[in-house]
Chains A and B, each alone.
Chain A
Amino acid sequence: MDCPTTHPSASVRRAFRPWRHRRRLVLGALAALLLASGPLRAEIDFTQLSLDELGEIRISTLERRSEPLFDTPAAVSVLRAPDILRAGDASVADALRLIPGLNVAQLNPDKWEIGVRGFNGVTSTKLLVMVDGMNLYSPYYGGVDWALADVPVEDVDQVEVVRGPGATLWGVNAVNGIVSVTTKSARDTLGALVSVREGSTAGLVSYARYGAALGRHAWVRVYARAIDSNTATPRSNTPGPTPFRQVRTGVRVDADETDRLHFTWQADYLLEDNQPQLNDPRSASAREYDNWYDHGDVLGRMTWKGGAAGTLTVQTYVDHGGDHVAGIPSLGGGTLALSQSGTDYDLDVSDDLRHGRHDLVWGGGARSTQFDIAARYGIQVRQPTGTENRYNFFAQDEYTLLPDTLKFTYGTKFEHHESIGWQVLPSVRLAWTPGSRQTWWAAVSRAVRAPSRSERDIFMPLAQLPGSPTSPPVDVNLVGTTATREEVLTAYEAGWRFRPQPRLTFDCTAYVNDYTQLRNLAPVVSFQAAPPAVIDNLTIDNSLRAVGYGVEGQANWRVSDTWRLNAGVTEERLQPRGTPVTALVAADFALPDLMWNAGTWVALPHDVEFSTEVYRVGGMTHTTVPGYFRADAQLTWRPIAELELNVGVQNAFEPTHLEYGTASLYPIAPVDRNFFARVQWRF
């Protein structure tokens, strides 16, 4: 398995500079030389770079496209397209296991919860996910549906991951981390590609794309992918994984009007039909229900470089999603049906100006969300339909105190939500690069998470405890309130990157997170006269504090052109201060007590490649999920240039294991061992 690049990529600096185009990079020791004048450059031995690395160097600016920024003052990792393909995963979410600090838990073949620095017991609420600049964090339930982020792996250009807050540029909800998935330019996907992957327990994935030039300066790609999990071997024990069928299709056009003006248009549509198995409390057995959802987007982006305005990026998109589930049995009797749909209109502008020692990024954005939560049969929503607007502006300056040695980055975002008013999201960061082999950095930042619509609006019967001759029955309800406030994080981080030689890198980060106003439940008890009953309304409030701390480490070693090694380790703790009212609230603080992974990729003779990765995920604190080992391996053979064959196994060590706790929005099934075979044909 290939090593994920340890270091921040240029565009991850977009974690700190949205949509900023590829920043200066530096191949560690080569950086200063690259930037130096001609004669010095002659000393760089480009023949030491691999084919992938050569393709990353930008020739007009002496900057690298997406290779690590050695001196970025944040915990950033990048998975590039070859890393993902070598990992042998069918989904972006699974490939993220390669990045230390990310707790990837698969709930079902089409559902994941991914936590970073804790908070992965109920729904991962503090990780922001973007796909091609589109925000997938749900304002309804305050989490991310990874099925939406799961773009075809064949189209992924890179996945950038920031651990720690990025609210100064990304805004509210970028609390514990950001994952940004970017797909390839249509210019890089010319020709046809067809792939079919069959997994013993994961089902059939079929994918096709075609790319063509539209004249000399524009390119188009159309693609479609179908997943049918019903072909998987059925499990003997229940509840099993949710069977589903999913289709995703889209089109993307990229155009370069001149060297300085670039346009992207894209549209995507996803439709899934699945049959979750949920326990029916009346018969105490699992039964199947029907759920379907869809999601579509249309996006336009313009990047203009070199004008009087610096590098200006304007992006706008509309996305629409609907989710419908029927017939869920309710503890309070009857059935629940929850149907919701929403449309987002989003506009973002950012600009990057460099002058002298300053590198200023500034901009703003606005977003309007129209929602329609047609809740019935038990779940009530105080405000089922409406519009929510938010807007923001930000500025961040990177000031070079000492050229190539010391940089100070400071800035803030101001963001307004109707629910929480104006929020100030500042950060300060310092990077010290004493020589070309190492960087030390430190940062202090503030981030907030806005309460979701359900935390503010929901009324849901949880349980009805029967009465006795001496006591009335008790109705327990979950109640949201508009008084719910934002959750606040103040984060202190420090890191060290070390490159003792060009092919060997280490990246370590330590952090202390101080949370206030975390969500809790407060019981509000009242008595109902007729019929006599005790009403226990568990009302959402913000009475918890918490402290989290941990260390994350990663090492990559490109031993030779045909052999790579990688390893990662994370150890962290997260403790609530205050008393979580229920086990459910306590489970919010779940994280694995220790995670590590180690793997290798090797190119063998006869066009065969082998990769393997072993993951250890410790038991989840605050829940009952035990620790597990996961081992993946893949063999790839390219008999001719057009054809690629893969066979592999996922979860080789265990026939089945559980990766998530007992509570989630989605049904949770154990993850099974999966043998897979894949064929890819390009023409």
Chain B
Amino acid sequence: MHPGLLSTLRRQAGLRAAALAACLACAVLTARPGHAAPADTDLEYRIKAAYLYNFTKFIDWPPRAFPDSKAPFTIGILGTDPAATHAIDETLRGKTTHTGRPIVVRVFRTAGSAAASGAQLLFVLHDAGVSAAAVGRTIGTRPVLIVGERAGFAEHGGTINFVVSGDAVQFEINPRRAAIAGLHVSGVVASVARLVHDPGDWP
């Protein structure tokens, strides 16, 4: 090869390497590391709704929970967070349980009205303005799965509590509270849940 050409090529290769190094340095120096994004409420409640759907598959309600074999499965929501209720409603719209009952999502004002209208699952949102103990007392031994999303909810009257751990939605379950309501929690649920217990201050 012509020596001049070779040196030109070498120079170009050197230039290219220098340019690459400069690009890299720029990338490093100008990187604007993203601030941790705020939790995405919509996604969070779509995931929670999907959990509720899974609970209907892996938890058995006693026959007394339903007025008849055709009755829908009612998921009651306590609380007003519009983003949450919208996401839950949209995720579960048109779904049926594995036993063929249509799933109906309804928003209630009080635990009492939810119980009176025969909801099988009650999801107490963060803004429900009512304590786990109060909900637990209102529901009593009725066959209702009480789900919450505040620290201590499952220890103090609730059955299941969502916990955001390391940015992922996981859940705790209080097996004794489930038994009080006559619900049978399958091993599949128990094996992925954290177990919690009443400290004795409820009801």
Interface residues of A (CB under 8 A from B): 38, 41-42, 44, 46-47, 49-52, 54-62, 65, 82, 85, 185, 187-188, 190-191, 259-260, 305-311, 353-356, 358, 360, 362, 395, 397, 561-562, 603, 607-609, 636-638, 640-642, 644, 682-683
Contacts and interface: CB of A to CB of B under 8 A. Distances in A.
B187 A47 contact: no
8 contacts: A38-B42, A47-B95, A54-B51, A57-B169, A59-B39, A190-B194, A356-B27, A397-B24
A609 B187 contact: yes
Contacts of A636: 187
A227 to B, nearest CB: 24
Nearest to A355: B31
B32 A683 contact: no
A56 B167 CA distance: 9
B44 interface: yes
Given A38-B42, A59-B47, A607 B31 contact: no
Interface in B18-40: 24, 27-28, 30-40
B188 interface: yes
A637 B189 CA distance: 13
A60 B57 contact: no
A200 B62 CA distance: 41
A360 B168 contact: no
A58 B33 CA distance: 19
Contacts of B32: 355
B43 interface: yes
B180 interface: no
Contact of B39 (A60, A397, A607): A60
A353 B28 contact: yes
B185 interface: yes
B90 interface: yes
A194 to B, nearest CB: 13
Contacts of B54: 47, 50-51, 54
A638 B190 contact: yes
- Chain A facing B: main interface SS: mixed
10 interchain residue pairs of minimum CB distance: A638-B187, A641-B190, A46-B50, A641-B175, A355-B31, A607-B187, A353-B31, A47-B53, A310-B33, A58-B167
B49 interface: yes
A608 B44 CA distance: 31
Contacts of A354: 31, 33-34
B137 interface: no
Interface in B39-87: 39-40, 42-44, 46-47, 49-51, 53-54, 57-58
A682 B175 CA distance: 11
B175 A57 contact: no
B166 to A, nearest CB: 7
A561 B40 CA distance: 27
Nearest to B197: A683
A42 B188 CA distance: 27
Given A54-B47, A360-B27, A638-B187, A187 B165 contact: yes
A57 B185 CA distance: 23
Given A355-B30, A682-B195, A641 B35 contact: no
Contacts of B125: none
A190 B163 CA distance: 13
Interface string B85-111: 000001110010000000000000000
A60 B40 contact: yes
Contacts of B7: none
B167 A61 contact: yes
A191 B44 contact: no
A54 B50 contact: yes
B187 A60 contact: no
A358 B30 CA distance: 11
B37 A47 contact: no
Given A187-B166, A683-B197, A41 B43 contact: yes
A332 to B, nearest CB: 56
Contacts of B191: 82, 85, 638, 644
A682 B197 CA distance: 11
B13 interface: no
Interface of B: 24, 27-28, 30-40, 42-44, 46-47, 49-51, 53-54, 57-58, 90-92, 95, 164-170, 173, 175, 178, 185-197
Given A49-B50, A638-B187, A62 B40 contact: yes
A308 B33 contact: yes
A641 B31 contact: no
Given A360-B31, A607-B187, 12 more contacts: A47-B95, A52-B192, A56-B168, A59-B167, A60-B36, A185-B166, A191-B196, A360-B27, A562-B188, A636-B187, A641-B185, A682-B195
Most chain B CB within 10 A, of A58, A187, A306, A310, is at A58
Most chain A CB within 10 A, of B33, B36, B37, B193, is at B33
Contact of A358 (B27, B40, B50, B190): B27
A286 B151 CA distance: 61
Contact of B175 (A59, A65, A561, A640): A640
Most chain B CB within 10 A, of A61, A82, A637, is at A61
Contacts of B40: 59-60, 62
Given A54-B51, A54-B169, A59 B164 contact: yes
A306 B92 contact: no
B36 A51 contact: no
A120 B168 CA distance: 39
Contacts of B38: 60
Contacts of B192: 51-52, 55, 82
A187 B164 CA distance: 11
A9 to B, nearest CB: 13
A130 B118 CA distance: 53
Nearest to A356: B27
Nearest to A53: B50
B50 A47 contact: yes
Contacts of A355: 27, 30-32
A307 B36 CA distance: 9
B196 to A, nearest CB: 7
A637 B36 contact: no
A105 B94 CA distance: 51
Given A46-B47, A47-B95, A641-B185, A188 B190 contact: no
Contacts of A642: 175, 190, 195
B46 A41 contact: yes
A311 B33 CA distance: 8
Given A41-B43, A353-B27, A561 B57 contact: yes
A260 B30 contact: no
A306 B34 contact: yes
A443 to B, nearest CB: 20
A353 B91 contact: no
Nearest to A352: B33
B46 to A, nearest CB: 5
A603 B195 CA distance: 21
A73 to B, nearest CB: 20
A60 B38 CA distance: 6
A549 to B, nearest CB: 33
Contacts of B178: 641
A240 to B, nearest CB: 36
B32 to A, nearest CB: 7
Nearest to A603: B188
A177 B47 CA distance: 35
B38 to A, nearest CB: 7
Contacts of A640: 175, 190
A82 B192 CA distance: 8
A309 B58 CA distance: 45
